Chains A and B, each alone.
Chain A
Amino acid sequence: MSSHPSSRPAVAPRGLVFGLEDRLGRIEVAFWLLPVAVFFVFPGYLVLASQVLIAGLFALSLDLILGYAGIVSLGHAAFFGVGAYVAGLLSVRGYGEPLSGLVAAAVVAGCVGFVSSFLIVGGHALTRLMVTLAVGLSLHEAANQASSVTGGTDGLSGMETSDLFGVFAFDLLGKTAYLYVLGVCLVAFCLVRRLVHSPFGLSLRGVRENERRMHAIGAPVRRRLVEVYTLAAALAGAAGALSAQTTEFVGLEALSFDRSASALVMLVLGGAGHMYGAFVGSCAFMVLQSFLADLHPAYWQFWIGCAVMLIAFFARGGILGYASAARERLARGSRGSRGAAARPGP
């Protein structure tokens, strides 16, 4: 692969700077060194940092279906919530082993995703949007009504997560929890990265760009969508399980529309279809949130609303989209052949 360095384009096409080259680039390694550095530099913020990573993983699962398959979902929290409740219920019933709980949550959420995917792939765009919304809302309502199992609005408490590998106890500072979350995120990320670079990922992008043409060339569009939806649901379930295990609490909020919407916002803030956008977005979102919500809870909602409106209007591609465009412009400027002004802004 590296034997023909000259055959690689000097300037990556727009949107391909982050994550779409098959080899793990230097920027990517540097990116994953950041959360490791956080562990040593900000030991006081590990609880928040864990939440950022969990939200990032959740947004990454949404990126699979939105950024790669092009399905807009307003109910992705359904799978996060299912995963969280599975892990939570297992733990409350006395089975608190984290890793197997994580796998169980991912499997159950994947099954729910598999079943609901058949509702999604059939309809056209508006029906899809509405069905994702309805699935999310009905699961939220189900958890609300089944309060004898889920604790209803009070939430599920009394969870106790056992030691990781039977050795490392979950401490109050969140060190074990952080490393656990980081490890799971890294593994999940590598999986997703491998996947989107495979022919499978390519056919997903084909579906996103032109579903009709994919049908015409004989690609199994429906099957691809069912597969990716199931996988994204399983990943979201894993994120939910991580959240339940590290906070030892599950509330109805895990299934709420707010969570679905904020994942969408995080992803778009960071940049959909980049994989890294999920983590960049969740970091920007949650750091801003913890800062602004301290002032007044309504301020936070107001400013995030305005930010999302601006993104929808002007900044397609989010933070990473900007970064790619800027890098491309720099590269062009240094070659001097075409001025940066030749291309209108994003």
Chain B
Amino acid sequence: MASFLGIVFDGVAYGSLLFLISIGLSVTMGLMNIVNLAHGAFAMFGGYLSVWLSARGTPFLATLPICFVVLGLAGAGSERLFYRRLRRRSQLDQVLFTIGFTFAAVASATLVWGPAEQRVQLPGALRGQLQVLGVGLGAYRLFLIALVAVLSAGLVALVEKTTFGARVRASVDDEQVSAGLGIPVERVFCLTFAFGSGLAGLGGALSIDVLGLEPTFALKYLVYFLLVVAVGGAGSLAGTAVASLVLGLFDVAGKYYVPQVGAFIIYGLMIVLLLVFPAGLHGRRA
């Protein structure tokens, strides 16, 4: 029983991390119709930025907002330079460009930081375990879940309650009509993309202690982010959250109970879910 609760806890922690990183990808794929395979690279650079800052004496927690801001700016820049042009191109062009970007990013990370796995010094309060109902819960994971819960609440409020959120929803539903109504669609997309990239950078920094950070991170976990988006339905906040939690729980439980099946369970789950829900759990498009 205790081990079961522990698995659920780990699964939720893993799922919230997946959610944090994938939400930006879901937005770009669903709202802007871009297949962005470079999203994992944004998360990876967030992680490396955090490591780099930590090595120069910045406390780990202080690196998190910096990662968010810097990667957000990088996202805004690349949206202006590249993604805006890619939006009207074919899917193949988008796949190629972003795969090329990922390759170059992996290679640069290898050149600068080497192929070894990076570590980061967590503050004392986040190390060790807390005993809750006889179950040892990792303090860092608890922090992770709480942080993501707060951020998600903020995200929902942003999308549902603010003018900016209304503009985003309008631009998504019908880009042309929104532009006709005077909504600066291009700027809305740019800001959304920047926000998603910032969250990916933040998620990358947070995942160093959970997933491990090495140059292949960009490709290895990209698959998981894509799974979340494909299963959750691109562009859906709720769908992405549900899919992240389901995938996180299944992955952790699968690795614990049936280790011989390994990652197979996730890929199998994805194929089944895609067949049953071709547009994702909360698909906007039929």
**Cβ–Cβ contact B271 & A306, under 8 A:** no
Interface size class of A (residues with CB under 8 A): 35 or more
**Cβ–Cβ contact B110 & A298, under 8 A:** yes
| Stretch from B95-103, B128-136, B140-148 forming part of the interface with A | B95-103
Interface residues of B in 59-113 (CB under 8 A from A): 82, 85-86, 89, 91-97, 99-108, 110-111
Give the distance to chain A from B15, nearest Cβ to Cβ, in Å. 19
A-B contact count (CB 8 A): 130
What chain B residues lie within 8 Å of A72 (beta carbons)? 91-92, 95
| Stretch from A34-42, A158-166, A257-265 forming part of the interface with B | A257-265
**Cβ–Cβ contact B223 & A137, under 8 A:** yes
Partner of A141, one of B35, B227, B263: B263
Give the distance to chain B from A260, nearest Cβ to Cβ, in Å. 10
Interface size on B, residues (CB 8 A): 45
**Cβ–Cβ contact B278 & A133, under 8 A:** no
What chain A residues lie within 8 Å of B94 (beta carbons)? 312
Judged by a CB distance under 8 angstroms, whether A47 is at the interface is: no
Judged by a CB distance under 8 angstroms, whether A74 is at the interface is: yes
Interface residues of A in 189-205 (CB under 8 A from B): none
Judged by a CB distance under 8 angstroms, whether B261 is at the interface is: yes
What chain B residues lie within 8 Å of A301 (beta carbons)? 103-104, 106-107, 110
**Cβ–Cβ contact A145 & B274, under 8 A:** no
Judged by a CB distance under 8 angstroms, whether B202 is at the interface is: no
Give the distance to chain B from A24, nearest Cβ to Cβ, in Å. 29
Q: CA of A119 to CA of B260 in the docked complex: distance in angstroms?
A: 26
Partner of A305, one of B35, B89, B103, B226: B103
**Cβ–Cβ contact A302 & B230, under 8 A:** no
Interface residues of A in 282-320 (CB under 8 A from B): 296-302, 304-309, 311-313, 316
Interface residues of A in 98-146 (CB under 8 A from B): 119, 122-127, 129-131, 133-135, 137-138, 141-142, 144-145
What chain A residues lie within 8 Å of B18 (beta carbons)? none
**Cβ–Cβ contact A133 & B226, under 8 A:** yes
What chain A residues lie within 8 Å of B212 (beta carbons)? none
Interface centre among A126, A141, A307 (most CB of B within 10 A): A126
**Cβ–Cβ contact B107 & A302, under 8 A:** yes
Quick one: closest A residue to B29, CB to CB? A126
What chain A residues lie within 8 Å of B182 (beta carbons)? none
Judged by a CB distance under 8 angstroms, whether A177 is at the interface is: no
Q: CA of A302 to CA of B89 in the docked complex: distance in angstroms?
A: 24
What chain B residues lie within 8 Å of A296 (beta carbons)? 111
**Cβ–Cβ contact A66 & B103, under 8 A:** no
Judged by a CB distance under 8 angstroms, whether A268 is at the interface is: yes
What chain A residues lie within 8 Å of B100 (beta carbons)? 265, 304-309, 311-312
What chain A residues lie within 8 Å of B107 (beta carbons)? 298-302, 305
Contact with B along A211-236 (1 / 0, CB 8 A): 00000000000000000000000000
**Cβ–Cβ contact B97 & A302, under 8 A:** no
Judged by a CB distance under 8 angstroms, whether B180 is at the interface is: no
**Cβ–Cβ contact A268 & B96, under 8 A:** yes
**Cβ–Cβ contact B267 & A137, under 8 A:** yes
**Cβ–Cβ contact A304 & B103, under 8 A:** yes
Contact with A along B9-46 (1 / 0, CB 8 A): 00000000000000000000100000100000000000
Interface residues, chain B, with chain A CB atoms under 8 Å away: 29, 35, 82, 85-86, 89, 91-97, 99-108, 110-111, 219, 223, 226-227, 230, 234, 260-264, 267-268, 270-271, 274-275, 278-279, 285
